[in-house]
Chains A and B, each alone.
Chain A
Amino acid sequence: MKGVVFNLLEAVVRRDYGDDTWEALLEAANTDGAYSSLGNYPDEEMMKLVGAASSALKMPADDVVRWFGRNALPLLAKKHPHFFAAHKSTRPFLLTLNDVIHSEVRKLYPGADVPVFTYDTSSSEVLVMHYKSPRKLCALAEGFIEATAAYYAEEVSLEQPECMNRGDHKCVLRVSVKKPGG
């Protein structure tokens, strides 16, 4: 996993829970903690940090990941505003993930192993996204999607009729977005 993800986790943990908490998580996860945004680090290190946070914050691991996604996204939007400014709402933004966002990620971080989503756009109400990754980080995707809706000041409801964490062979995210009051 790219160092930049660890940097994001460090930033949100420090901001919301203080420097000491991050130090404690590093100690608890027994990791080195020196992450370069350009470097590659084992996925297990991220899993250990998430596990340590889950214990320390008394929160299920999925919720930790979702929280991380929700809080990391505004940082990304601040750093790369043009990807967001190009759209006015959540749905068209989500549809650019494969072709625009992740292809840019690959340019900035050679070797980045980003997921490829498949979409079902047959319904104009519900965008169905299929996610398949050995990392099983569908919760991170949920966090990102929730924060994206917040960025566009929209209300979102998410359902996961299928999930790899529940033994399915892929995750299916049903994303319903509406304008507040609409």
Chain B
Amino acid sequence: MNANEQGLRQIGTRPPRPDGVDKVTGRARYGADYTLPGMVWGRVLRSPHAHARILGIDASAALALPGVLAVVTAEDFLAEPKGDVASGEAEIESGDLSRNVMAREKALYHGHAVAAVAATTPRIAAAALAAIRVDYEPLPAVLDLDAAMAPDAPLLHADMFTRGVDPEPRAASNVAAITTFQRGDLDAGFAAAEVVVEGTWCSPMAHQGYIEPQACLACVGPGGEVEVWCSTQGPFMVRASVALLLGLDVADVRVIPTEIGGGFGGKTTVYLEPLAVALSRKCGRPVKMQLSREEVFRATGPASATRAWVKIGARADGTITAMDARLEYDAGAFRGSPFIPGAMSIFACYDVPNQRAVALDVVTNKPKVAAYRAPGAPQAILASECALNELAARLGIDPIELRLLNAAREGSRTIYGAAFEAIGLVECLEQARRHPHYAAALQANQGRGVAAGFWFNAGLQSSAAVHLTENGKLLLEEGSPDIGGSRAAMALIAAETLGMPYASVKPAVVDTSGIGYTDLTGGSRTTYATGYAVIEACRDLIAKLCARAALEWGVDAARVGWRDGAACHPDAPGTTLDIVALTRLAARTGGPLSGYGSVNLKQVAPAFAVDIADVEVDPETGASRVVRFTAIQDAGRAIHPDFVEGQMQGGAAQGIGWALNEEYRFDARGVLENPGFLDYRMPVASDLPMIDTVIVEVPHPGHPLGVRGVGEAPICAPMAAVTSALNQAAGTSIRVLHLTPSRVLAAIGARG
């Protein structure tokens, strides 16, 4: 059912975003744009070693410098804080969070924070860093999965014993955890197969590539009250983290989210905020901190490097009989890679009775990974979808037909036990099959790849409030930072629910003291869950408006209806009181008019995407480029199609970059060699073709409007589609990303 069929008038339209003019004119204020009287500057001293014991820190010379006001080290944070903070899928335990924001016993990666200073100028702060003496005992570092899992590997954490192993191991290990998801009889499944494909695909550590580096301003008042302005996906997460690490009461911490210049999961945890608060508490002045681009690369969380082995068996008619995988995720310095979501998502697109996914969480001397759009899924799906394309070629079956033959549908059971309600994978595949792109002729040295992707889409907790102004406009307050156009979506949802013009709705992202608890912006949950809270707030307001109309008319409130933005008299057809009229009557019917909504959406809202990629390879140089790309996705309901398409295009661009361009490169000492956008080459607009989009709408049954969320599914399939296309174009079978010209050229040479 489309928006018109559902009787929706504004949902599905494309009005200008409320924050658009501010953002294109430079008026919008981001994390680094805030100042306060008396403000001083914070800077971070970082480890020059990838692995070293910290024997001592002497800050006396730094503190003696004129203009230096405070130094903090790990001693200023709780070592074992009690409690948890809800963050992204790349979770971190509270003791590890404390040690990640400030190294304690050991520095665990090059660039790990070991101290921070506050000084009256950035130059003095830099001089203070140089004056701090840190006594290190360098230790051997482990920099990749093989080194970390070697029997004699140096250990990052002497107290880390592999979880999920039975019996519990007696020796410490860099393998933090192993988990297994399994259903059916794998042996029987492979015994029934007539064709089996198998291989190992590797994807590199990659950065989310948000344009705005982390920045914050913290101010601790004389009574201990804390204010933090920062660029974050989760102001309530920052509030909880600051309180947790510094032993504060969350009620004493107010976090004001600034505009955010991208996050993609990378701003679902804290790096600077606890440091700035600790420095401000120590020196009694507001403290501003901002990361350089180099610090962003060296010391914030990228996506895991991953090695994924996959084996798939099928009958000659294309029926898949068994799917097996072993996934190894590089977590960086602390446990908590997205290995479990990777294992849960790898085969979710397919209704196959016999499946297994074993996943490992492995620590290395690299930055602790963070969430990145559908954390863990793109790396896993790279392997399963490339294997499926190889299987299709072996069977001589069209790759979309093969997927349709085995596609998950309503009622299909997943490897993790859940059964799908109404989902849109088949609809996406059929759109792909019908799309002109799929029938278009390829030119010389071009290849075509298709791939499907899946993500859960979280619900979780959100709050919203709506207030009518004296002239009948609507102020809408929410706690979800706007990363991808969510203000416009919230305004459309409110306008639709109340039956008022979109232009009369003024949405605002407010601080943690101005709205009820809201989980962070991520997990594709904002339009789904916060949008639901907006509906609830508007319904609450409608009930109050009907009650006011009933008072005015002297009728029973339960008999007053609400239609087209007005209360309808139950006994006098055509007699109505609209929002403006009711607002004018507010003072004499009970006072200001507001509505409140809070939800805890327990269900996930599964989303599927299908991509078609055409890649051209220069056989002389190995250089490649995407010449055509089509992204198809089930949005459930596209509230504002511009921003749905924007998410699809953005996810595609990031997936293409991960396949063709991007990779963290470390030297033998664990020093990142490409900590900047010149050497870490993300695709820019001129590198990419127009990314065509097709929005599929199979409404999610757990949402009044059918919303599923759209932010993460778009990055799941592009790596596999591009890799398959490139291999077809070059006649190669490259399975190690990224697909550098040298790697492609070597594979072409080896092909002969």
Partners in one complex: no
Interface residues of A (CB under 8 A from B): none
